Structure 1
């Protein structure tokens, strides 16, 4: 038995354990919690396995060539990222470790590296009209506008190929799922609360993609 009470010491704080299965079974309220828990896990495919011996030889050869041809070569190795841009560099197909580059100057090897710029400014996506069946079996056509921004460039490029299309389909399916539990009268009278519920549900998924939904209308 523990004898902390004999020595007058306070017990060690118990560790907090989150039962993921219980959260999953708690309904829509647990959706965002589960997504945040899963986003903390190391994402497969976002970590580079490192360069091999032959690849390092190519890198060293390229660096040697840049040094020999300096200062002319420096004009081909330096690029500029704007204040609202972040840059990811892939070297021989491997994502370079560390944070995204920018804003300002960044260095890359022209023969071995490819870079991708991600715009962090607020994006607007118009969701076309689509049919929704309400709780009281009314069929209505609705549209929406989604405002979102890129937050994690590394997750974004490794998760999605077509961001607008993925966000559009996600908004449509989320609206169909949430509005199916509300009557036509509730939809007409509770537009603000419904928009907030849609935003929370979208954030629960898009946070794993590196996207932040600002608002939906």
Structure 2
């Protein structure tokens, strides 16, 4: 874990760029510098950074010069320093560092300071005390006095609650005013209102590939609050900058996880992203309150389900009702234990009928063998299962291989992963098919040996 401090020295040589993009220029250079640092630092060890510090600076300078030339800016120097973050070191607002969120996932961020070769701090003070500035102020005040009955409406402004106003006088920022009545000079003062309420930010959807090769479409919603109106007024495109940091954080979090882990650790991923954004926005005087991530798998055309409504009309292939085969008794098990097992199975089946209440049909394929049909009816009574077709219309029809079914029963393959990798084809409502995972999980938790063997040998 490193704390990286960087300072970029640049010079604007194109007046058109200075007039049109000077407000966003600093943010553009800062974003490019941070992206390049993340690419370079995450692939190197700390000892390599120490020995290759000069080489890293040269590469950074060459990259920034190439990017800044199109903006009419020449980057002349770059100063960079980094040091390891100790455990007892607190986060600093001027150089926030990123915590390690999970294994195989380390944040390496930076704090870039921008410096122009022609600083305007002294010029600003000289401008305020210049005769031209004093003359304009005097003329504006005289005009207010002459038109006083009318100018009173333009002189007083009310700042509402949860609202900040930043005053610009002759192009110079004076500061922010809180919720109260303020006095303005209408001719030379310009107002910029900043909303301090909690605001939503919808980040553009991004397509990310998980560790197991599944494409996920991520929809991200963020709620933030501006704490410093002056910073917001200076950084005109902070929303786009925040979007870029959110997207980069989501990509880093998702690409190291499987599709199953995304659903099991959904809240943890949102918390990790929230901590990451809070650490970054500390120096921005921006407070992140909530992060919501919604995953949607990107399916191929062959994975599209053909279904009409939530149920599929199905005709029974056999007129005779199916029969439940008798369970196979394992040697060495007493009759008392068998009775206890079947009482437990019956209670579990009753719970499944109450919680699931659906009818599933399975079409199992084996290499070199004709496909077989089985059903699991959890709509009434203690449930029913057997070979063939159910008496009623099935809610979900699943087509899968014998090997895939075995892996699903043992917990090696989830229904979600099997569907996305085209190892199972589902006809019917997907939300109903997902409930089959509850059946497999309940069987596996209560009867890890007996029930799995019973289901696989006698039902499936």
Q: State if a TM-score over 0.5 links the two structures.
A: yes
Q: Aligned with 1:166: secondary structure?
A: helix
The 3 A distance-change label for structure 1 pair 43 and 65 is farther
Give 1 or 2 for the bigger CA radius of gyration. Answer: 2
The 3 A distance-change label for structure 1 pair 74 and 47 is farther
Gaps of 5+ in 2: 1-80, 97-110, 293-460
Q: How many residues align?
A: 190
Is the contact between residue 209 and residue 216 of structure 2 (CA under 8 Å) also seen in structure 1? yes
The 3 A distance-change label for structure 1 pair 95 and 42 is farther
Deviation sequence 1:65-119 (CA, Å, 0-9, x none): 323433432221111111121000000011114xx21212111111111110000
Is the contact between residue 94 and residue 283 of structure 2 (CA under 8 Å) also seen in structure 1? no
The 3 A distance-change label for structure 1 pair 122 and 182 is same
Normalised to the residue count of structure 2, the TM-score between the two structures is: 0.37
Measure how far apart 1:122 and its partner are: 1.1
Is the contact between residue 87 and residue 115 of structure 1 (CA under 8 Å) also seen in structure 2? yes
Q: Aligned with 2:211: secondary structure?
A: coil
Is the contact between residue 85 and residue 118 of structure 1 (CA under 8 Å) also seen in structure 2? yes
User: In the TM superposition, what are the counterparts of 1:129-144 in structure 2 within 5 Å?
Assistant: 129-144=205-220
Q: What is residue 38 of structure 1 aligned with on the other side?
A: 95
Is the contact between residue 46 and residue 158 of structure 1 (CA under 8 Å) also seen in structure 2? no
Q: What is residue 223 of structure 2 aligned with on the other side?
A: 147
Is the contact between residue 155 and residue 208 of structure 1 (CA under 8 Å) also seen in structure 2? no
Q: What is residue 167 of structure 1 aligned with on the other side?
A: 242
Q: Is 2:143 aligned against 1:85?
A: no
**Whole-Å separation in 2 of the counterparts to 1:83 and 1:76:** 20
Is the contact between residue 210 and residue 255 of structure 2 (CA under 8 Å) also seen in structure 1? yes
Deviation sequence 1:20-49 (CA, Å, 0-9, x none): 6212xx8xx9xx936x23379998799793
Measure how far apart 1:198 and its partner are: 0.4
Q: What is residue 186 of structure 1 aligned with on the other side?
A: 261
Is the contact between residue 132 and residue 176 of structure 1 (CA under 8 Å) also seen in structure 2? yes
Q: What is residue 104 of structure 1 aligned with on the other side?
A: 180
Q: What is residue 279 of structure 2 aligned with on the other side?
A: 204
**Whole-Å separation in 2 of the counterparts to 1:60 and 1:171:** 48
Report the RMSD for the aligned CA atoms in angstroms: 3.2
Measure how far apart 1:52 and its partner are: 4.0
**Whole-Å separation in 1 of the counterparts to 2:278 and 2:233:** 18
Q: What is residue 158 of structure 1 aligned with on the other side?
A: 234
Q: Which has the higher contact order (CA 8 A, sep 6+)?
A: 1
Q: Aligned with 1:33: secondary structure?
A: coil
The 3 A distance-change label for structure 1 pair 46 and 85 is farther
Normalised to the residue count of structure 1, the TM-score between the two structures is: 0.74
Deviation sequence 1:116-154 (CA, Å, 0-9, x none): 000011111223331112233332111121111111111
Is the contact between residue 156 and residue 184 of structure 2 (CA under 8 Å) also seen in structure 1? yes
